[in-house]
A and B are shown apart, each in its own frame.
Chain A
Amino acid sequence: MQLDAVDRQIINALQEGFPIAEEPFAEVAEKLALDENELLARLERLLADKTLTRFGPMYQAERLGGAFTLVAMSIREDDFERVAEIVNSFPEVAHNYEREHHFNMWFVIATENPKHIDAILTEIELDTGYSCYNMPKQDEYFVGLKLAV
């Protein structure tokens, strides 16, 4: 993947936001002094080669009715794979990362009903024999990427 100056300009501009208008690509193209068709063609390529993971509305999942939380566990190294397998087997576990820390397992639980979270955590604790540290988001100050490329 080789990004030229125009690609970078497009990525930087579209990370900021995209207008809601009848012909939004024309508006963006004008600002970037580009041809609308070229903007569309480059976007298509950037999505196809996965330089961009998506392009469109970003929905705040909590506002769509689900409940989410981040959970940390501290697992003994020689027991890690066993516990990872158990934790991953829960369909409500959406993401799970191994991190370099005393708390070495970090996962996100997504459920339709906030009341289910405690029950799932209890079940994980019973099945694995390790404590879950529940760290639900209490406030959100920023979400988004604004990488200069």
Chain B
Amino acid sequence: MQALKDDKVSMLDETDRRIILATQDGLPLERRPYEAVARKLGISAEEVMHRLRRMSDEGIVRRIAAVPNHYKLGYTANGMSVWNVPDEHVEALGKQVGALEFVSHCYRRPRHLPAWPYNLFAMVHATSREEALEKVGEIARLLGDNDRGHDVLFSRRILKKTGMRLTP
């Protein structure tokens, strides 16, 4: 993604970019993984750790963690739940919904009236469709009167999936 060199992303310098490229596929499984990355880039482990901490503080790194394959773990029913909530409360409600353990993504998005009245999106993961619907019911109870209508869209098929990633 050449946009990294754009002025708008001045927060990232060339070294940040090299660290991202070296780690976007994952961290090496070695006792000193940051040192292994540093060695590859010809910089110090301290520099790598310092920059990763800075990028974490700035929100460029969401977190450093393991990402499970939810299908492999039996979470095969994945529904996109969508909610019409009052705009003045969407932020507070979005944070509460996002904090639920079965919600993986929670965003505010624009309505398209009248066809699309929903402004809050929450991806729900469950092991069955019944369980997913139960969890959607849990969100509805949490929202109470602020739930002015909702729906849940289950995926039928992946039509395309290519990652979004930096290229050298």
Contact surface of A with B, Cβ cutoff 8 Å: 1, 3, 10-11, 14-26, 36, 40, 43-44, 46-47, 49-61, 63-66, 68, 70, 72, 74, 84, 87-88, 93-101, 103-108, 110, 112-113, 133-149
CA distance A40 to B101 in the complex (A): 26
How many residues of chain B are within 8 Å of chain A by beta carbon? Answer: 80
User: Which residue in A55, A63, A103 is a CB contact (below 8 Å) of B66?
Assistant: A55
CB contact under 8 A between A52 and B159, given known A59-B60, A94-B164: no
Asked if B148 lies at the interface with its beta carbon under 8 angstroms from chain A, I say no
User: Which residue in A11, A43, A61 is a CB contact (below 8 Å) of B68?
Assistant: A11
Output the least CB separation between B109 and chain A (Å): 4
Q: Name 25 interchain pairs, CB-CB below 8 A, sorted by A.
A: A10-B66, A15-B66, A18-B65, A22-B49, A23-B31, A40-B30, A47-B29, A57-B24, A59-B24, A65-B9, A66-B164, A70-B109, A84-B159, A87-B159, A95-B162, A99-B154, A100-B155, A133-B112, A135-B110, A137-B109, A138-B109, A138-B110, A143-B62, A143-B106, A147-B75
CB contact under 8 A between A147 and B98, given known A17-B63, A142-B105: no
Q: Which residues of A contact B11 (CB under 8 A)?
A: 63
Q: Which residues of B contact A36 (CB under 8 A)?
A: 31
Asked if B157 lies at the interface with its beta carbon under 8 angstroms from chain A, I say yes
Question: Is the pair B59, A60 in contact by a Cβ cutoff of 8 Å?
Answer: yes
Contact surface of B with A, Cβ cutoff 8 Å: 1-4, 6, 8-9, 11-12, 20, 23-27, 29-35, 45, 49, 52-53, 55-56, 58-70, 72-73, 75, 80, 90-91, 94-95, 97-99, 101-110, 112, 115-116, 125, 151, 153-164, 166
